Amino acid sequence: MIRVLVVEDSSTARELLVGILATQPQDFTVIGEATNGAEGVEMTRRLRPDVVTMDIRMPLLDGLEATRQIMANTPTPVVVVSSIGNLDVENSMEALRAGALAVIEKPAGPATAGFEDRCRTLLQTVKLMARVKVVRHYGGRPAAHPAAPLLRGRDVPDGRVRAVAIATSTGGPAALQTIFSQLPRDFPVPILIVQHIATGFVSGLASWLSASGKTRVKVAEANEPLAPGTAYLAPDDLQLGLTSHGRIVVAPEPKIGGFRPSASFLFDSAAQALGRGALAVMLTGMGRDGVEGLRRLKASGGRIVVQDEGSSVVFGMPGAAIEAGLADEVVALDDIAGRLMALVTG
């Protein structure tokens, strides 16, 4: 049984969230309801829930600061349940950086379009995030891990890198922010990114990442030309790839392993378009999405960098790539930007 603390200032929204969780009494029990962030912090300390659902805009203490305090003092899986206003999205991204595991759109009333889908997303996300072992964060950044030694697999092939393909899920926004804060403005190749994130948040993620560093980050558009120093995020519910002529592919192709966008679709596309010129990066995330695409990228002569376990929020996707013997290098998060520069510039 998963013990849930609901933190939400609106009595209507709070009653709705509790009601949604109550539809699966075999899986969830709501052990507390907090009406502001300060209550949420105190009740997390006192009740020790398995997972916290966190609103962003609240009186006394907002969800961002509440998440920071929880992760510093009582590390607990936090799922941000937020509206999609500009300020809400920005603060939701900052909450992910502070240690929250996921962000999803707050369900509106039962009469609204897509209500059942949002309910399923909420229940599935809370269930999955409750299993994650979180670490203490100080000042909005995770506690330092000793850097893992660089592990080299088979020899990295020769050949100029023409594009970087990155895939990530849980913990990904904060990991991407770390990387982009370290990359230079003149990074010489384009970057394509599949980030598993709730529908409606990808544009806010792009804006937040752009503001976090020197790299331009945007939502990918079909058939636009790839540009050096620009990162392209997969749009909601569309597959992302590229052509050998250096243009973006955005298409409603079938889901792969339940995912659209899918890391495997991106890596497979990069393998076909670039061969030895593809550089793949597998970051923190839950599940195994991307492994099959990495197999094809490896077979085509591309290179693969994987985030290490110590710096991953969830080691599912990176661990699956390592277990399959596909990683050329296993690198701590703080060192990935440097490795990308070294590999891209030769």
Between 37 and 91, where is the model more confident? Answer: 37
**pLDDT tens digits along 280-324:** 999 999 999 999 999 999 999 999 999 999 999 999 999 999 999
Torsion sign over Cα 333, 334, 336, 339:
negative
CA–CA distances in Å: residue 95 to residues 62, 68, 279, 316, 319: 10, 7, 30, 22, 25
Between 270 and 97, where is the model more confident? Answer: 270
Q: What pTM was estimated for this model as a whole? A: 0.90
**pLDDT tens digits along 9-29:** 999 999 999 999 999 999 999
- Parallel, antiparallel or unpaired: strands 28-34 and 2-7: parallel
From the candidates 82, 92, 169, 312, which is the catalytic residue? 169
Active site residue 312: no
**pLDDT tens digits along 236-279:** 999 999 998 999 999 999 999 999 999 999 999 999 999 999 99
Per-residue model confidence (pLDDT) at position 212: 86
**pLDDT tens digits along 207-221:** 999 998 899 999 999
Residue 146 has pLDDT above 50, yes or no: no
Joined tokens for residue 51: 């997972």
Q: pLDDT above 90 covers what percent of the chain?
A: 81
Active site residue 196: yes
Between 345 and 159, where is the model more confident? Answer: 345
From the candidates 55, 196, 268, 335, which is the catalytic residue? 196
Mean pLDDT calculated for residue range 227-244: 96
Per-residue model confidence (pLDDT) at position 148: 42
Mean pLDDT calculated for residue range 62-87: 91
Query: Which of the four pLDDT bands, split at 50, 70 and 90, describes residue 159?
Result: low
Per-residue model confidence (pLDDT) at position 135: 74
Active site residue 245: no
Residue 149 has pLDDT above 70, yes or no: no
Q: pLDDT above 70 covers what percent of the chain?
A: 93
From the candidates 55, 88, 289, 335, which is the catalytic residue? 289
Per-residue model confidence (pLDDT) at position 57: 92
Query: Which of the four pLDDT bands, split at 50, 70 and 90, describes residue 87?
Result: low
Rounded to an integer, what distance in angstroms lies between the CA atom of residue 309 and that of residue 287?
Answer: 14
Residue 233 has pLDDT above 50, yes or no: yes
Query: Are the C-beta atoms of 176 and 292 separated by less than 8 Å?
Result: no
CA–CA distances in Å: residue 67 to residues 12, 56, 93, 270, 283: 22, 9, 12, 37, 23
Per-residue model confidence (pLDDT) at position 72: 95
Residue 84 has pLDDT above 90, yes or no: no
Query: Which of the four pLDDT bands, split at 50, 70 and 90, describes residue 88?
Result: confident
What domains can be seen in the chain, in order of their start residue? Answer: 2-142 (3.40.50.2300), 151-345 (3.40.50.180)
Per-residue model confidence (pLDDT) at position 261: 98
Query: Which of the four pLDDT bands, split at 50, 70 and 90, describes residue 329?
Result: very high
Chain position carrying tokens 């920071």: 68
